[in-house]
Amino acid sequence: MDKSLVRPRSLVREAASLRAGVPTPAVHVDRLCARIEQVDPLIHAFVPEPGRADRLQAEARALVARHPDPAQAPPLYGVAVGIKDTVHVDGLPTHGGSLLPPGVLAGPQATVVDRLRAAGALVAGKTVTAEFAGSAPGRTRNPHRPEHTPGGSSSGSAAAVAAGLVPLAIGTQTIGSVVRPAAYCGVVGFRPTFGRIPTAGVLPNAPSFDTVGLFTADLAGAALAAPLLCDDWDHEAGPDDGAGGGAWADGAPVLGVPVGPYLDRAGPEARQAFDRQLALLAARGLTVRRLDLLPDFEELERQAQTVNRFEMAASHTDWFARFGDLYRPETAASIRHGRTVDPADRAAALRARTAFRERLAERRQRAGVDLLLAPSATGPAPLGLDSTGSAVMSLPWSFAGLPALSLPAGVTAAGLPLGLQVVGEAGADERLLALAAVLERVLDGA
């Protein structure tokens, strides 16, 4: 590993420094652009942008004019953010990782970008995505091992945070496109409850699943950003985890592990690391319960693919008819497959999803489980750039629309990161972040 490529930055510290006036936004932009010029030619996290420095300096001057006293400025004052290239940003073209003319894909600025800018953030640029947030990889390389994939489809966003180009980046997840690249790149990836961050202004993949998420270096960064981006954030939610002094309170979270055919999909390195993590958590006094939650996992996979392919084809009906020859083979194959799906089959799969969501909630409540744990991916980032890896470890939770996050959880013998996936209850994103902080402290102290 070239250690100069891996330098994640704390969003909390950076935001506090900028609001303290050191550095100024202008100096911060100079440093940001210098880092991008130094590192990005090696990892290709950002979509190339002529005149990036001039644009950002102009935006920094406008920000200072609006907020002359940084101490009174909004919480992300001057913080540079990466935005996945499926998310519309005023002043920047949206390519969706494709060869389609950007004007065809243009649209109003996304709600998530409106919220970031209202919080004082500067848009560092568009980050590379797999084509239309699908399976055709972009150019991005993993900062830990540039010959390995960073994961996808939010590849550029995860790599940009891991490489310290930005402390916060926006991605999207249909099945596994935030949690998986976060694990591969050794950062935190947070996918809120489906619909918690509006998808207005985001190119659709499968609207029944598409969820806006974010990447940060640590959980504290996610906890700072999430309330600014999610609808109706409850700042009072989230119990005292009782972690002070290393002793858990009576309310310490109960952890559930979904054993069976789902967990069997994890490879040996992921399973061995996961077993070590569970043993460590149990040794620190946390209750771990193994549950047979997903006996019909293969059927869930089939249902999710039915909805995904049908909706992807529907989302691209007009564009594919006009520009089908410009699509990558993997994307074109998915769209053609989606055209063969009977609408009745999609409707049946959506009904099955509702039943699954209700069944899962009932089983969790009956077992007294606060969080579900699983590997974030089937293993470390695969060698090569022709695939973004398997999203299967995220599939059931994305299918159910549950909030989930990936915590960095050690490395393999070869130095590749691994992630621990933590899954909360629908709508309880605040509680997920609060309880996950317990796990982060244990893992960091191991």
Q: Which letter does DSSP use for residue 297 in this model?
A: H
Residue 8 CB partners (closer than 8 Å, separation 6+) = 161, 162, 163, 164, 167, 186, 187, 217, 218
* 3 is known as an active-site residue: no
pLDDT at 244: 36
Query: Are 133 and 211 members of one domain?
Result: yes
The reply to whether 342 falls in a domain is no
Alpha carbon 53 to chain centroid distance? 26
Q: Which letter does DSSP use for residue 382 in this model?
A: P
Active-site residue, from 84, 126, 208, 315: 84
pLDDT at 236: 86
Query: Are 18 and 93 members of one domain?
Result: yes
Cβ pair 166, 81 in contact under 8 A = yes
Cβ pair 165, 43 in contact under 8 A = no
* 394 is known as an active-site residue: no
Query: Are 174 and 259 members of one domain?
Result: no
The reply to whether 269 falls in a domain is yes
Active-site residue, from 153, 157, 390, 394: 153
The reply to whether 399 falls in a domain is yes
Tokens of 400: 């159910």
Alpha carbon 381 to chain centroid distance? 15
Query: Are 266 and 152 members of one domain?
Result: no
The reply to whether 102 falls in a domain is yes
Task: Indicate the residue type of 408.
Answer: P
The reply to whether 21 falls in a domain is yes
Block means of pLDDT (10 residues each) for the chain, length 446 residues?
Answer: 84 98 97 97 98 98 98 98 98 98 96 98 98 98 98 98 98 98 98 98 98 98 98 80 41 92 97 96 95 95 98 98 98 98 98 97 96 98 98 98 97 96 98 96 79
Given 201, 229, 257, which residue is the final one in a domain?
229
CA 187 vs CA 122, 353, 364: distances in Å? 21, 30, 28
The reply to whether 276 falls in a domain is yes
Q: DSSP string of 390-410?
A: --GGGHHHHHHT--EEEEEEE
pLDDT at 416: 97
Task: Indicate the residue type of 70.
Answer: P
Query: Are 270 and 129 members of one domain?
Result: no
Q: DSSP string of 58-70?
A: HHHHHHHHH-SSG
Cβ pair 156, 139 in contact under 8 A = no
For residues 246 and 257, what is the distance between their CA atoms, to the nearest angstrom? 23
The reply to whether 354 falls in a domain is no
Q: DSSP string of 181-199?
A: HHHHHTSEEEE-STTSS--
Active-site residue, from 98, 135, 154, 177: 177
pLDDT at 4: 83
For residues 388 and 177, what is the distance between their CA atoms, to the nearest angstrom? 9
Query: Are 198 and 52 members of one domain?
Result: yes
CA 376 vs CA 55, 107, 183, 231, 409: distances in Å? 37, 33, 6, 25, 10
Query: How many structural domains are present in the chain?
Result: 2
Query: Are 212 and 261 members of one domain?
Result: no
Given 229, 252, 279, which residue is the final one in a domain?
229
Given 229, 252, 271, which residue is the final one in a domain?
229
* 84 is known as an active-site residue: yes
For residues 250 and 199, what is the distance between their CA atoms, to the nearest angstrom? 38
Residues in a beta bridge with 255: 288, 371
- Return phi, psi of residue 96, to 5°: 65, 25
Q: How many Cβ atoms from other residues are within 10 Å of residue 103's Cβ?
A: 8
Here the CATH number for the domain that contains residue 175 is 3.90.1300.10
Note down the domain range covering 116: 3-229
Query: Are 225 and 256 members of one domain?
Result: no
- Return phi, psi of residue 287, to 5°: -80, 130
Cβ pair 277, 444 in contact under 8 A = no
Query: Are 267 and 145 members of one domain?
Result: no
Print burial letters for 338-349: b (CB count within 10 Å at least 16), e (below 16): beebeeeebeeb
For residues 352 and 361, what is the distance between their CA atoms, to the nearest angstrom? 14
The reply to whether 71 falls in a domain is yes
Query: Are 212 and 269 members of one domain?
Result: no
Stretch (H or E) spanning 157: helix 155-162
Query: Are 222 and 258 members of one domain?
Result: no
Query: Are 15 and 103 members of one domain?
Result: yes
